[in-house]
Structure 1
Amino acid sequence: MTSPQLKTFANDWGQRPYRLWLPQEHPPRFLVTGLHGCFMDSQRMALDTRLAELVVNQLGGALLCPQQDRQANEWMGWNWFLPENQKTNGAGETVLLRQLITDTLFQLKISRDRSGLIGISAGSAMATNLAFNCPQLFKCGVFIAGPAFASAQSAEEGLQVMQSGPTSEPTSPPFQLPRALLFHGEKDSVVNTRHLDALQKQWEQSIDPVAAKVVQVETAFSWETQLTTSTNANVFTSHLVKNMAHAWPGGRQGCDFMSPEHEQGMGIILGFFSDSLLPQV
């Protein structure tokens, strides 16, 4: 799949490169924003993961992949741990990304209820920053192998909590968050699996706990947890993926941070975006 040209978006908070994949035969039906992890870039986020194939070719959506600047982070990771990126009124990279997404939705004439989000590792953590800062911008989000929201306030603390798990009670959102799909490998040695528990708690705290219903099942793929409301609306589905390390559940053979043997995860992501972002007939 040919990659589109790398462009640059700029506002008062800085500038970042990005790529935008579009279907060739019709206007895009929805938009998914993909945030890469450390040591990745926009092209790898789209192609190594097979996300462009899934979103654009199979579902007919647009895929927006912003790219971190090495001058902002030498590991090419999003600065999810900086306090200015975690404020509910938004600042720094959060505002930059929010404006890029908003402008892209306007350019493509796509409504916010057709806007989705996905990230891995540092990109997943940055995606939670966006979900907490501007939940109205997204119908749904997929969060893979990432730390819980506001679990660190510096780069040093970020590295510590990635290994140990959150050291304090998870920050509670003052509003309902977008519907979520969570993945974490049970053998992840980079980001502690306790972050999956913390993310579940943060999403649970965003709704009326009296109305919440939790269902847990074990499959050959994962230990799965679903949280629904009293009206059976899905709040989140989480997967602690069996025998998976710090990786994307699926992706291309021979690519870093991909786990092709867990390809079932791609089918779950496909169904999640289809159910959340496409008109139901």
Structure 2
Amino acid sequence: MLEQYTYSSPAGNLPYVVYTPLNYRAGTPVPLLIMLHGCTQSAADFAAGTQMNLVAEEHNFIVVYPQQVRKNNSLYCWNWFDLANQSRDHGEPAMIVGIVQDILQNTAQWTIDTARIYVAGISAGAAMSVILGATYPDIFAAIGIHSGLEYQALKSHHGALTISKRGGPDPLQQGLAAYEAMGSYARIVPTIVFHGTKDTVINITNGDQVVQQWMQTDMLASHDTYVADFNAPATATTYKIPTGYAYTVYTWQNSRG
């Protein structure tokens, strides 16, 4: 079941759509997944393209699709490149977390397992998901990044196209910046990254930098108990979808997986 809501705050209003599985009843703790669309997309576009509602129906979890508004960005991008939207308790990250709080407080409709709240996105939504992982690691248990960019790849809109085509700053430096953004909530944040090798909008270099940035962030957050080498993944397995694309899965783990 799809329902539309609006989050309101002094910073502004943000519409969002919630999908609740048909057989779900409040009182049963379930995971919550926040899904952030890309530029020129809508919440409805992202729901249709990902088919995440069908997955939620099968596995019994709540999906929320925040909707960027034209007032904030003429192309409906999340403003990941703006310094005002890269820290805790400010800008769009605070508004998205405000939506999470709205869901948590509506106990008559949903009962959320607060240890299983996740955020995922594509493109601009992926870049914002990286920011949320760094600024709210106490809220989001893990993050999913599809064609995204490392934390603070930019601090203003100038150069966004160049960064997208060539990659951002040194991911080790950005890993430190993300760790510092975590503050007292610093911890290892499990991260899954998807990126097309022939992506012509967000170059694959950015996907590699996301992985390297989070390796550095997690190492610092774990006080060096998590150490991974980007050039030496624990596993590398290639698969082929019949009549579809081939893809390779790389994993990096610590001693506890």
Q: What is the TM-score with the length of structure 1 in the denominator?
A: 0.76
Compute the displacement of 1:59 (Å).
0.8
State the match for 1:224 in structure 2: 249
Alpha-carbon contact 2:124-2:148 (below 8 Å) kept? yes
Alpha-carbon distance in structure 1 between the residues aligned to 2:188 and 2:15: 27
Are 1:77 and 2:77 counterparts? yes
Alpha-carbon distance in structure 1 between the residues aligned to 2:5 and 2:67: 10
1:71-122 Cα distance to aligned partner (Å, 9 max, x none): 21111110011101112x3311111111111221232231321211110000
Q: Following superposition of structure 1 onto structure 2, how do residues 187-198 of structure 1 map, counting pairs within 5 Å?
A: 187-198=198-209
Residues 76, 177 of structure 1: alpha-carbon distance in 2 compared, 3 angstrom cutoff: farther
Alpha-carbon distance in structure 2 between the residues aligned to 1:144 and 1:70: 23
Compute the displacement of 1:68 (Å).
0.3
Q: Following superposition of structure 1 onto structure 2, how do residues 54-133 of structure 1 map, counting pairs within 5 Å?
A: 54-55=55-56, 57-87=57-87, 89-107=88-106, 108-133=110-135
Q: Structure 1 residues 166-175 or 180-189, which shifts more? A: 166-175
Compute the displacement of 1:65 (Å).
0.3
Alpha-carbon distance in structure 2 between the residues aligned to 1:48 and 1:223: 22
Residues 231, 177 of structure 1: alpha-carbon distance in 2 compared, 3 angstrom cutoff: closer
Q: State the AA in 1 paired with 2:24.
A: H
Alpha-carbon contact 2:118-2:143 (below 8 Å) kept? yes
Q: Of the candidates 116, 126, 148, which is equivalent to residue 150 of structure 2? A: 148
Compute the displacement of 1:177 (Å).
4.0
State the match for 2:9 in structure 1: 11
Residues 187, 25 of structure 1: alpha-carbon distance in 2 compared, 3 angstrom cutoff: same
Alpha-carbon distance in structure 2 between the residues aligned to 1:112 and 1:188: 35
Alpha-carbon distance in structure 2 between the residues aligned to 1:165 and 1:225: 20
Q: CA RMSD in A?
A: 1.8
1:21-47 Cα distance to aligned partner (Å, 9 max, x none): 101212362110000001111111112
Q: What is the TM-score with the length of structure 2 in the denominator?
A: 0.83
Contiguous gaps of at least 5 residues in structure 2: 180-185, 240-245
Q: Following superposition of structure 1 onto structure 2, how do residues 127-276 of structure 1 map, counting pairs within 5 Å?
A: 127-169=129-171, 170-172=173-175, 173-174=178-179, 175-205=186-216, 206-207=218-219, 208=222, 209=224, 211-213=226-228, 214-220=233-239, 221-232=246-257
SS of alignment partner, residue 217 of structure 1: strand
SS of alignment partner, residue 154 of structure 2: coil
Number of positions where the alignment pairs a residue of Structure 1 with one of Structure 2: 228
Between the aligned residues of both structures, percent identity stands at 25
Contiguous gaps of at least 5 residues in structure 1: 233-281
